[in-house]
Amino acid sequence: MNKMDLIVKIAKDTGITKAQAGKAVSAIMDGITHSLKTGGSVTLVGFGTFKVVERKARKGINPKTRKAIQIKASKVPRFVPGKNLKETVNAR
């Protein structure tokens, strides 16, 4: 499912227009992005948590040249699924 598929599903399930559903999806994504950018996290109980984790600097290998390189420390977004989401995905 991509963003447009999600917008269509939300519009269909809620009875709102695709334009309104698109604005809602964009607002949610903007809210999550803003929270992560400012160092916060977003927890949707039962679904999961979006958070930022810090990666330490590390050594790597350039696949083209096979030479060792130093990879800088960075911050990366992570999603940790909640218990209900895990159970739903694993249900048979």
The radius of gyration computed from the CA coordinates of the chain, to the nearest angstrom, equals 18
pTM for the full model? 0.80
**At 6, which helix (H) or strand (E)?**
helix 3-14
Angle formed at CA 13 by CA 79 and CA 90, multiple of 5 degrees: 40
Which pLDDT tens digit goes with each residue over 50-77? 999 999 999 999 999 999 999 999 999 9
Domains and CATH numbers, the chain: 3-90 (4.10.520.10)
Helix H, strand E, coil C: the string for 24-68 is HHHHHHHHHHHHHHCCCCEEECCCEEEEEEEECCEEEECCCCCCE
Tell me the C-alpha distance between 81 and 92, whole Å: 18
pLDDT of residue 72: 96
